[in-house]
């Protein structure tokens, strides 16, 4: 596998940092990876290596306010940068992913492009396929929520936080309000860290904890943008814009709180089928949590993904 990096300038003048992984064998397709909230694209190197071994080129950009797009991956650059998306930030994040797609397509005109988003990245991908789903050959949604109900109380708290501490200051209050509930099922585990909801693999959880650019406290402005994005992607008229012929593959752990332990995802699958999406499939992994590619059964997850990709070439 050959790895390299580059940057491109997005519509708002932001330098977006990109990882590229290329196989040593003839490539048969490209997988563009969209990472989750409060993490970064380099965490997907192991997945990219597995895909490269099977002939897939991989790309992944660090999103606005994340990774090397925001700083230098040290704790010193967190303040004022981490999670800061900028004006109309959700739309900017989605557009950045599409802008990278255009670069990929220009470089790889003869092979298919698949989009793979995890968590926040899956929801960004849902927005993408509503706008440009006809540009890709398939979409993989890992650890998505599948549903969203607007909570006016939380939105009011977000707006109050912005008034009190500003747009870019990390909000511990919102972090506690939104994230602490994710670990409810494991909060009484011996030595609980608050991040057990991510994976059963304690080593992977510890790597996440030890990485200053993972699990960082985000500013209130990010949540304002995120809620705008959720309202957009889960509106029925927007879900109906997804191309009927676009293959979609859902991946989730059966205990993932983000997808309400698959309840939210099953609801989305039913909706998409009702809207006439012809190729919707899924794989739920028993007892797995939020990060299937960092789970104890990750080899199984990756093999299933490769089989799905191979079947859609």
Band of the pLDDT at 132, cuts 50, 70, 90?
very high
pLDDT of residue 151: 81
pLDDT of residue 77: 67
Count of structural domains, the chain: 1
pLDDT at 153 over 90: no
d(CA 212, CA 14) in angstroms, rounded, equals: 22
Q: Which residues lie across from 57 on neighbouring strands? A: 30
DSSP 261: T
Q: At what angle do helices 152-165 and 172-179 cross, to 10 degrees?
A: 160
Q: Residue 159: phi, psi to the nearest 5?
A: -65, -35
pLDDT at 207 over 90: yes
- The structure tokens listed for 245 are 């012929």
CATH no. for residue 213?
A: 3.40.50.1820
Average of pLDDT values for 198-224? 95
Distance from the Cα of residue 295 to its chain's centroid: 16
| 43-67: pLDDT as tens digits | 999 999 999 999 999 999 999 999 9
Strands 56-61 and 138-142: unpaired
Helix (H, G, I), strand (E, B) or coil at 130: helix
Helix (H, G, I), strand (E, B) or coil at 163: helix
| 85-94: pLDDT as tens digits | 998 999 999 9
Strands 15-22 and 2-9: antiparallel
Four-residue CA torsion sign, 154, 155, 156, 162: positive
| 225-266: pLDDT as tens digits | 999 999 999 999 999 999 999 999 999 999 999 999 999 999
3-state helix, strand and coil shares in percent for the chain, rounded to the nearest 5: 45, 15, 40
Q: CB-based burial of residue 15 (10 Å sphere; 0-12 exposed, 13-18 middle, 19+ buried)?
A: exposed
pLDDT, averaged across the chain: 96
Alpha helices in the chain (DSSP H): 45-52, 67-70, 89-107, 120-132, 152-165, 172-179, 202-210, 220-233, 236-239, 263-274, 298-310
Q: At what angle do helices 172-179 and 220-233 cross, to 10 degrees?
A: 40
Residue 310: CB atoms within 10 A of its CB come to: 13
Average of pLDDT values for 123-144? 99
117 contact partners, CB below 8 Å, separation of at least 6: 33, 34, 123, 124, 125, 126, 128, 139, 140, 141, 142, 144
Residues, the chain: 313
pLDDT of residue 76: 59
pLDDT of residue 155: 87
Residue written as token pair 């660090």: 62
Structural domain of residue 127, as residue ranges? Answer: 2-310
Residue written as token pair 């606005």: 64
């Amino acid at each position: 596998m050959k790895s390299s990096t580059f940057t491109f300038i997005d519509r708002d003048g932001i330098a977006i940092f990109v990882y590229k992984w290329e196989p040593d064998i003839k490539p048969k397709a490209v997988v563009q990876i969209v990472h989750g909230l409060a993490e970064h694209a380099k965490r997907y190197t192991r997945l990219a290596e597995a895909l490269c071994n099977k002939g897939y080129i991989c790309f992944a950009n660090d999103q606005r306010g994340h990774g090397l797009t925001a700083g230098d991956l040290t704790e010193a650059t967190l303040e004022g940068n981490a999670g800061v998306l900028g004006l109309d930030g959700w739309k900017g994040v989605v557009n950045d992913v599409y802008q990278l797609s255009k670069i990929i397509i220009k470089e790889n005109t003869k092979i298919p492009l698949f989009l793979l988003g995890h968590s926040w990245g899956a929801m960004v991908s849902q927005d993408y396929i509503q706008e440009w789903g006809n540009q890709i050959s398939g979409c993989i949604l890992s650890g998505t929520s599948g549903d969203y109900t607007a909570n006016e109380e939380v939105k009011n708290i977000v707006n109050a936080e912005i008034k009190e501490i500003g747009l870019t200051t990390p909000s511990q209050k919102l972090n506690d309000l939104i994230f602490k509930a994710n670990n409810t099922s494991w909060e009484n585990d011996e030595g609980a860290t608050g991040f057990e909801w991510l994976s059963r693999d304690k080593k992977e959880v510890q790597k996440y904890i030890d990485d200053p650019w993972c699990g960082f406290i985000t500013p209130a402005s990010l949540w304002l943008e995120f809620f705008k994005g959720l309202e957009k992607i889960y509106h029925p008229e927007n879900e109906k814009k997804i191309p009927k012929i676009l293959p979609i593959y859902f991946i989730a752990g059966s205990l993932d709180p983000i997808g309400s332990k698959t309840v939210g995802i099953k609801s989305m699958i039913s909706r998409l089928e009702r809207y006439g999406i012809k190729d919707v499939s899924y794989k739920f992994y028993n007892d797995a949590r939020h990060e299937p590619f960092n789970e104890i059964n990750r080899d199984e997850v990756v093999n299933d993904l490769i089989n799905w990709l191979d079947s859609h070439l």
